[in-house]
Structure 1
Amino acid sequence: MASMDFAEAADEFGRPMKKENISEWQAGWNVTNAIQGMFVVSLPYAVLHGGYWALIALMGVAHICCYTGRILVDCLYEEGEDGSLVRVRDSYASIAVVCFGPRFGGKLVSTAQVIELLMTCILYVAMCGDLMHFSFEFVAVDIRSWMMICGVVLLPCAFLRDLHMVSTLSFWCTVAHGIVNIIIFGYCLTCAGDWGWGDVDLGLDLEKFPIALGLIVFSYTSQIFLPTLEGNMRDPTKFWCMLKWSHIAAGAFKTLFAYVGFMTFRFKTKDAITDNMPVEIRRFVNMVLVVKAMLSYPLPYFAAIEVLQMGLFMGKPATLFPSCVDPDSEVRVWAMALRVGLVVFTVLSAISIPHFNVLMGLIGSFTGTMLSFVWPCYFHLKLKAHVMTPSERAYDYFVIFLGVLFGVVGIIDSGREMVHKFQLGLPI
């Protein structure tokens, strides 16, 4: 596979594709969008079953995911003859081609990326339907109908052309996230007199904590987007600073949020902390969360489009299908139809797949841990071991071990839950 800078990708006619590069702040909004996700409202529930171990995991996983994000982007570069770093690879998949071989390497990673990204999109649609249904239970509209309504609103995502537009939506997603946090924190502070300072302990609920740990790990996964973000930055040298501070801020906030939320509701803490709040506040917060979910959708959707385009639609003979863009660098009509079809696919999947949340946990336990823990460290060892210190190599092996452990535990736990639901004949 030929190497090229993602920010300077050319179409089949050799003309540069129109891409508006983004600043480090815009890249930061995208990373924040990815790691300050919808699952933040479930973090106090993680403390209920994990105590201080959950708080330690919130900070530790933030550090690990920041590290694997950095080394993954490092694998895009090689040292030139003059000692400077040269970007010789353009994507996660192109790294896999070098490390796993040209026959299956790129296809394996690209498939895992697309599955993870589309599952994330489907989850956002499903969450919108749930939130709308339980906010307006007095309206004669079922969950599937709400999902379809939200899907219609999401159709314009098919017309997104570059990360600059996605970054703008990610900024407003962060604003919506901030509104939710202010409301929840404000309510918790009004209950400060009843906080259970001594209720957080070192005990572990070994049956339920793996689920909470899965939420923590999933809430920090942004590695899929990072090669694209770094390749589209105006100044890639600021990537590491952006990544570091976004994860520091996320780790600090999530730990504080989880701790305060649990102390407020203590052993009555529900799966989503919003369910513990008064009906009027809960309804408003849920509506803001619906807005946040819709604004979160474009980032994984756009990333999935990019992965599919790079792998299948760059023009023959490089890829199986012709280029998505015409000689004027405009998206072709049939390609736009495919983009719309992808949005429709995510909506129909959310509507039709039974027990999608559990299924996502089952599949995501493999794809998520591989993409975020195991493969970045394996690639790093494969490409950079000759310049790494023994302690750096040992840390990479440690992260691989954790990734395999989290993946196996998650698959077993989600598989058991899936079998249980089908045995009971529970509805979607």
Structure 2
Amino acid sequence: MSEKRGSGASSHRHQITEWQAAWNVTNAIQGMFIVSFPYAVVQGGYWAIVAMVAVAYICCHTGKILIDCLYEEDSSGRLVRVRSSYVAIAEEVWGRRIGGRIVNCAQLIELLMTCILYVLLCGDLIVGSFPNTPVDLTSWIMICTAPLLACAFLKSLRRVSWLSFWCTVAHMIINAIIVIYCFTKAGDFKWSEVQVKINIWTFPISMGIVVFSYTSQIFLPTLEGNMIDRSKFNCMMHWTHIAAALFKAIFSYIGFLTWGFATKEVITNNLPTESLRVIVNIILVAKAMLSYPLPFFAAAELLQTTFFDGKPQTPFPSCFDDEDSLKPWGLGLRMGLVIFNMLLAIFIPKFALLMGLIGSFTGTMLSFVWPCYFHIKLKWHSLRWHTKIQDVTIIILGVIFGAMGVYYSGHALERSFHGESPKPFNPRPLNDG
């Protein structure tokens, strides 16, 4: 059914305010992965900091135009919501058979990799906190996954929004502690170690990390569709992305200045006092677990609408009964998804490099290329000339950065498995943190 933009009327039973939508977007673009941003400065220097601001602007723009693609004008000139998802937009442009499958696949990869990275980060943080214990990374990953099985019971976006709120609160407290500690070392800042030149072997990796961290386009159609007042969506996007850009740039720069080239993939592992490192890392583990439900919920919803929404629309019957309760086998499938994430986290234990690789591939497509391409295809005749130029420029940048990032991140990931530096002509071993 078509829906008017800005209308509070909706078929959704669990609506959210613009503040709850903002917590979810903030959780997506300013979440756990910021602990790897100082390491991105190691790889990209000043240009990585510039990229943090530029990518924020681009992703804010593509997020807004993606939502614009959900709407068409009716006969009276009012905007009416005629599409409900990213996939529906792709199906309109590329056809149901091809478009839906391509975007569904990319979204699923992005969401599952986000879940995997949260689980992997939990294990990595605990290993960094207790390096002398006999428990290895694999065991910690399994321990951290156990409470996440509860996510299989989530059915409401409203509950996910409140988890994102408390996640944001914990995020602000921990990052404030790290920044305050860094300022206590201001006299020893390593100003000379920040590079101005671009290293072709490492800058694409840092770009992939930056792009990955700003990818929220997957969640936006659902969030906007569930908002009580959709007219406030653009304002919400502006403030969340401005805040993310400023904080990421400042946090990354100060973090790198404190430790220079000794900055580790997860910056909390640089903290010198064991007690401080343990406290910060354990709270970050709790924060990662609070961040996990949003991408997991989106992945479960995507799988449900694609495969388990009832015959004949989908290949399998619905996961829910007539009372909107999960069937036992549906609950088992969701728990299996959590376990699947855990297994991949165990087998691919390279946090920052994996984030760079995935960000370069699905991140650039979902956040740069496809929103602009769909916008041009659906709105070409109503777009102003400068918007057309802007969209085409972003597409070109997305293709270039995506291709370079996949090649160099993949190359670095391969070398890291052999204990080598991502720089092919640097014999120093890679610092795994």
TM-score, normalising length: structure 1: 0.91
Q: Which residue of 2 aligns with 1:373?
A: 368
Q: Give the Å deviation of 1:120.
A: 0.8
Q: Name 1:163's counterpart in structure 2.
A: 157
Equivalent residue for 2:32, pick from 29, 34, 38: 38
1:287-345 CA-partner distances (Å, limit 9, x unpaired): 11111111111000000011111212222221211222222222222211111111111
Alpha-carbon distance between aligned partners in 2 of 1:140 and 1:424, rounded to the nearest angstrom: 22
Report if the CA contact (8 A) 1:123-1:357 is conserved. no
1:416 and 1:265 map into 2 onto residues whose CA distance is 26
- Select the residue among 119, 128, 137 that pairs with 2:122: 128
SS in 1 for 2:318: coil
CA-atom RMSD, angstroms?
2.4
Instruction: Return the alpha-carbon distance in structure 2 between the equivalents of residues 276 and 333 of structure 1.
Output: 45
Give the distance between the partners of 2:337 and 2:124, measured in 1 at CA: 21
Q: Does 1:406 align with 2:401?
A: yes
- For residues 184 and 359 of structure 2, what CA distance do their matches in structure 1 show? 37
The alignment-based identity, stated in percent, is 57
Determine the C-alpha separation between the residues in 2 that align with 1:210 and 1:107. 28
Alpha-carbon distance between aligned partners in 1 of 2:81 and 2:361, rounded to the nearest angstrom: 29
Correspondence for 2:173: 179
1:117 aligns with 2:111: yes
Partner Cα separation in structure 2 for residue 310 and residue 215 of structure 1: 29
Counterpart of 2:337 in structure 1 is: 342
Does structure 1 retain, via aligned residues, the 8 Å contact 2:65–2:375?
Answer: yes
Structure 2, unaligned runs of 5 or more: 421-428
Residue 261 to residue 415, structure 1, CA distance change in 2 (3 Å): closer
- Residue 200 of structure 1: CA displacement? 4.0
SS at match of 1:252: helix
Query: 2:99 matched to 1:79?
Result: no
Q: How does 1:24-35 map to 2 (within 5 A)?
A: 24-35=18-29
Structure 1 equivalent of residue 55 of structure 2: 61
User: What one-letter code is carried by the residue in structure 2 that aligns with 1:329?
Assistant: D
Which deviates further from its counterpart, 130-139 or 229-238?
130-139
TM superposition shift of 1:388: 0.5
1:287 to 275, 282, 291: 282
Q: How far off its partner does 1:4 sit?
A: 6.2
Deviates more, 1:210-219 or 1:155-164: 210-219
In structure 1, C-alpha distance between the alignment counterparts of 2:4 and 2:354, rounded to whole Å: 33
1:107 pairs with 2:101:
yes
Matches of 1:388 and 1:353 in 2, distance apart? Answer: 44
Report the AA paired with residue 159 of structure 2: M
Matches within 5 A, 1:231-270: 231-270=225-264
Query: Alignment partner of 1:103: what SS?
Result: helix
TM superposition shift of 1:30 = 0.5
- 1:349 positional shift: 1.9
SS in 1 for 2:135: coil
1:4–1:292 CA distance, 2 compared to 1 (3 A): farther
Q: What CA distance in whole angstroms lies between the structure 2 residues aligned with 1:217 and 1:418?
A: 18
Equivalent residue of 1:374, what SS? Answer: helix
Residue pair 1:5, 1:89 contacting (<8 A) in 2 also: no
Residue aligning to 1:10 = none
One-letter amino acid matched to 1:404: V
2:420 is the alignment partner of 1:420: no
Letter in 2 for 1:99: V
Could you tell me how far apart the structure 2 residues matched to 1:413 and 1:60 are?
21
SS of equivalent residue, structure 2 residue 306: helix
In the aligned structure 2, how far is the partner of 1:212 from the partner of 1:360? 9
Instruction: Tell me which of 209, 216, 223 is aligned to 2:210.
Output: 216
Match of residue 310 from structure 1: 305
Check the 8 A contact 1:6/1:232 in 2, yes or no: no
C-alpha deviation, 1:272, in angstroms:
2.9
Question: For the Cα contact (< 8 Å) 1:76–1:95, is it kept in 2?
Answer: yes
Letter in structure 1 aligned against 2:146: V
Residue matched to 2:423: none
Separation in structure 1 between the aligned mates of residue 192 and residue 352 of structure 2, nearest angstrom:
33
Contact kept, 8 Å, 1:316 with 1:322, in 2: the verdict is: yes
3-state SS, counterpart of residue 345 of structure 2: helix
Cα distance in 1 between the residues matched to 2:178 and 2:184: 10
Quote the offset at 1:416 in angstroms.
Answer: 1.4
Residue correspondences, number: 418
1:423 Cα offset (Å): 5.8
In structure 2, C-alpha distance between the alignment counterparts of 1:4 and 1:56, rounded to whole Å: 41
Secondary structure, in 3 states, of the residue corresponding to 1:104? helix
Per the alignment, residue 12 of structure 1 pairs with none
Structure 1 residues without counterparts, runs of 5 or longer = 8-15
Q: 1:17 to 1:159 in 2, by over 3 A?
A: farther
User: Residue 96 of structure 1 is aligned with which of 90, 94, 113?
Assistant: 90
Q: Take 1:309 and 1:409, find their aligned partners in 2: how far apart are those partners?
A: 34
Matching residue of 1:13:
none
Change (3 A) 1:224 1:17: same
* 1:321 paired residue among 293, 306, 316: 316
Distance in 2, matches of 1:288 and 1:241, equals: 31
Deviation string, structure 1 residues 238-295 (Cα, Å, up to 9, x no partner): 1111111000011111111122222223343333322322132222211111111111
Q: Distance in 2 between matches of 1:52 and 1:361?
A: 18
Instruction: Report the CA distance between 1:119 and its aligned residue.
Output: 1.0
AA paired with 1:372?
Answer: S
Q: 1:18 to 1:87 in 2, by over 3 A?
A: closer
Does the CA contact (< 8 Å) of 1:6 and 1:91 recur in 2?
no
Alignment partners' CA distance in 1, 2:58 and 2:135: 43
**Alpha-carbon deviation of 1:422?**
5.3
State how far apart, in whole Å, the 1-side matches of 2:108 and 2:253 are: 34
